[in-house]
């Protein structure tokens, strides 16, 4: 996963990098704090799902 994160997450070419406030990985779980809104998160999630790796997403509901 380190090569994947370097190539797709923390690379300067990642247009969504500014929205990632925190990225924590433990084995096969990743916890992300996101500031970009739902539409940007959907696009980022779509971009991450390469043929080699399939991510799933669980969203936490924010109570106002």
pTM for the whole structure: 0.80
Q: For 4-60, write each residue's pLDDT tens digit.
A: 888 889 999 999 999 999 999 998 899 999 999 999 999 999 988 876 788 889 888
Question: What is the count of structural domains for the chain?
Answer: 1
C-alpha–C-alpha distance, residues 40 and 18, integer Å: 11
DSSP state of 19: G
9 within some domain? yes
C-alpha–C-alpha distance, residues 48 and 28, integer Å: 14
C-alpha–C-alpha distance, residues 23 and 54, integer Å: 17
* Structural domain harbouring 35: 2-48
> What is the number of other CB atoms lying within 10 angstroms of the CB of residue 40?
15
58 within some domain? no
64 within some domain? no
Residue 17 contacts residue 6 (beta carbons within 8 Å): no
63 within some domain? no
């Amino acid at each position: 996963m380190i090569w994947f994160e370097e190539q797709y997450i923390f690379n300067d070419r990642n247009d969504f990098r500014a929205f990632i406030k925190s990225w924590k990985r433990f084995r096969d779980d990743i916890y992300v704090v996101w500031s970009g809104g739902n539409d940007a998160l959907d696009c980022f999630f779509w971009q991450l799902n390469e043929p080699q790796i399939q991510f799933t997403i669980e969203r936490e509901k924010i109570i106002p």
